[in-house]
Amino acid sequence: MSAYSIDSTTGYLTPVAGSAFAASGTAPASLAVDPNGQYLYVADNGSNDVSVYSIDSSTGALTPTGVPSATGSGPDAVIVDRTDSYVYVANLASNTVSAYTIASSTGLLTELSNSPFAVGAEPTSLKIDPNGNFLYVTDFSDGNVTVLAIDPATGSLSAISGSPFGAGVGAVSVAIDPTGGFAFVANETAATISEYSINASTGALTPLSGSPLASGTNPESLAVGPAGSYLYATNVTALNEVAAYSITPSSGALTLSGSPLAAGAFPISIVVDPSGLFAYVANENSADISVYAVEVSSGVLTPAAHSPFAAGGGPRSIAVD
């Protein structure tokens, strides 16, 4: 796994001493940093487990912690809840979500006794609403979104009324705006983005008028900036680009903001840093990371100087602490 320090002014990436770090499992597919920035959780698609690494707060170096915890088959996404109490893993090949409690002193995981939990066919991404009440899961083969209520006392999951909710063919990624009012789903095969309002009390999704939005290409990964004004989508057709959309505050409707920009080959994952000033894209087939400066008032992206930055072979996920 590659690790970098970030220049907060330019977005420039500098490899951390010792990077790339050896993975504990095989075929790491997804990364998540806990809210306190102490631990990195990695879903290992090839070895069917989730690994834990401590993060050196001074250097960013990674150190494996404990033994990887077993998951279902083909884990493809991992997320940590906002209270730093639970970890959830989407198991692509077994159509389940595994749930774990976190030991606060070590970061190590213990699977819940009633885990895993059934979801739709081929779960590919996970997102938790800002209030920490609901887990949203894209079901790639079903073209749906499964919504699960999170028990705050135990971390246990249960499907809400009306779940799953229809999306588009190849629902692959879900993003939620910081207010928790709107959700967006990238439908890779259908070449659309589904738009929803979220019922804050129940977690239910209601399609917005005009949804889904035709994206003109195959969206793979979505990220909303911390201000909630813009949505960013990577497109994995031969165009290999990243597009910015403005989010209408009153309705959640999306409008393309400027022209899409070139990315690397097969831009599979995008994240916006907490400052909202930079966006980072992992390009799986070109083995690098594209960096973009974000114009805060317009959401327009500009390639950062010296971008792209080299990564290891086949980067599939990117996270910023």
Neighbours of 118 (CB within 10 A): 13
pLDDT in tens, 142-180: 999 999 999 999 999 999 999 999 999 999 999 999 999
Q: What is the mean pLDDT of residues 12-20?
A: 95
Q: What is the mean pLDDT of residues 262-276?
A: 94
Q: What is the mean pLDDT of residues 300-321?
A: 93
The answer, yes or no, to whether residue 216 has pLDDT greater than 90, is no
CA separation for the pair 159, 243 (Å, rounded) = 32
Residues facing 79 on adjacent strands: 88
Neighbours of 238 (CB within 10 A): 9
CA separation for the pair 131, 128 (Å, rounded) = 8
Label residue 316 exposed, middle or buried (CB < 10 Å: 0-12, 13-18, 19+): middle
CA separation for the pair 167, 249 (Å, rounded) = 22
CA separation for the pair 127, 151 (Å, rounded) = 16
Per-residue pLDDT band at 120 (split at 50, 70, 90): very high
CA separation for the pair 279, 263 (Å, rounded) = 11
pLDDT in tens, 24-35: 999 999 999 999
Per-residue pLDDT band at 321 (split at 50, 70, 90): confident
Long-range contacts of 181-185 (CB under 8 A, 24+ apart): 181/252, 182/208, 182/247, 182/252, 183/127, 183/136, 183/145, 184/222, 184/224, 184/231, 184/254, 185/138, 185/145, 185/222
CA separation for the pair 113, 221 (Å, rounded) = 32
pLDDT in tens, 199-210: 999 999 999 999
pTM here? 0.96
CA separation for the pair 284, 190 (Å, rounded) = 21
Buried b (16+ CB within 10 A) or exposed e, 158-167: eebeebbbeb
Residues facing 47 on adjacent strands: none
The answer, yes or no, to whether residue 238 has pLDDT greater than 80, is no
What three-state secondary structure class fits 131?
A: coil
The answer, yes or no, to whether residue 114 has pLDDT greater than 80, is yes
